[in-house]
Every structure is written in C-alpha cells, then in structure tokens.
Amino acid sequence: MSEPVKKEILQRAKNILDEYLNDQGLRKTSERYAVLEEIYRLPQDEHIDVESLFLKMRNNEYTISRATVYNSIDLLVDCGLVVKHNFKDKNALYEPALTYEHHDHLVCNSCLKIKEFLDPDIENIKKRVGKSLGSAINLHSLVFYGDCTITNCENLERKKVGSEA
C-alpha cells in the first residue's frame, strides 16, 4: 500500500473515531489517536497483541499506560476500526479494519505463524449455505490449524530454542 493511500486511510479512521467519540460522549484523547495510528502503521498481513502494541509504543517513546492501550483497543474494536481475532492458544490479535479485505487464516501449530488467504471456493460455499438456510451471510470466520512443513522455518527454530531453556 502506498504512503499517500495509507495517510488517506488513517485520516478516514481518525474521522470515524472523531464521530464515534462525539456520539458516545467520550473524550478525544491523544492516547486514543496514538493507538489508532500505531495499529494502522502495521505492515499489511501483520497481527498484533495488546501487550506487543504497548511495548512497541513505549519503545517509540509514547508515555502511555498498559491500561490505556487495552481500553483504547476495546474502543477501536467497538467502533469498527480494528478487527479482533481469537486464535487457539494465542492472545487476542488485532489488525486494522479499514484496510481489511475479508480473508481467512492458517495458524501453524508448530511455529505459530499466521498466514492469510482468500479462496473463492470458500466464498461460494458461504453463498450456497446462506441460500440453503435462507440467510444472507455477510460475515464468516474460518481458521485452519496445521503443522509447519517449511524447511528451516525460523519461527519453529525459535520455538525449539525457547522450550529448551
């Protein structure tokens, strides 16, 4: 995604947050906007947990509390600006919603790497199931779990080293 497009999306996200905070009678704090910006600066296909986000922000010299990051993330999920994923054996992970094109996930049991994919056959199944059940399905969540078969997987090696300690 090009830098001008990212800036445009971030500005749109800020406008949505402004409107949501106004509607809810909530304060517009710099910390809420900082959390929003950090989430929207993530590389595409990256997911982050709240603790990692907090540490990243502290390393970038933000003065923000852990509780503020947690509360801000919840608020961003509530207003539709952040998508929350709950994968097996993992903390909740988050990604920006405005850059979110629906996709499914494969989580490796061995190295814990998350891969995103989009398969038109799954979309066709969703339509077929919706039609047969008389429902217009507009959202689904699909996560596959498998074992890493990547030769020399760096994540698998890190996991082995960590478990030997």
Q: Do residues 114 and 107 make contact, with C-beta atoms less than 8 angstroms apart?
A: yes
Residues annotated within a binding site for Zn(2+): 108, 111, 148, 153
Q: Do residues 33 and 75 make contact, with C-beta atoms less than 8 angstroms apart?
A: no
Residues annotated within a binding site for Fe cation: 102, 104, 123, 140
Identify which of 97, 98, 91 has the alpha carbon closest to the alpha carbon of residue 114: 91
Longest dimension (CA), the chain: 54
Residues annotated within a binding site: 102, 104, 108, 111, 123, 140, 148, 153
CA distances in angstroms from 117 to 103, 107, 142, listed in the order given: 6, 11, 10
Q: What are phi and psi of 116, to 5 degrees?
A: -100, 145
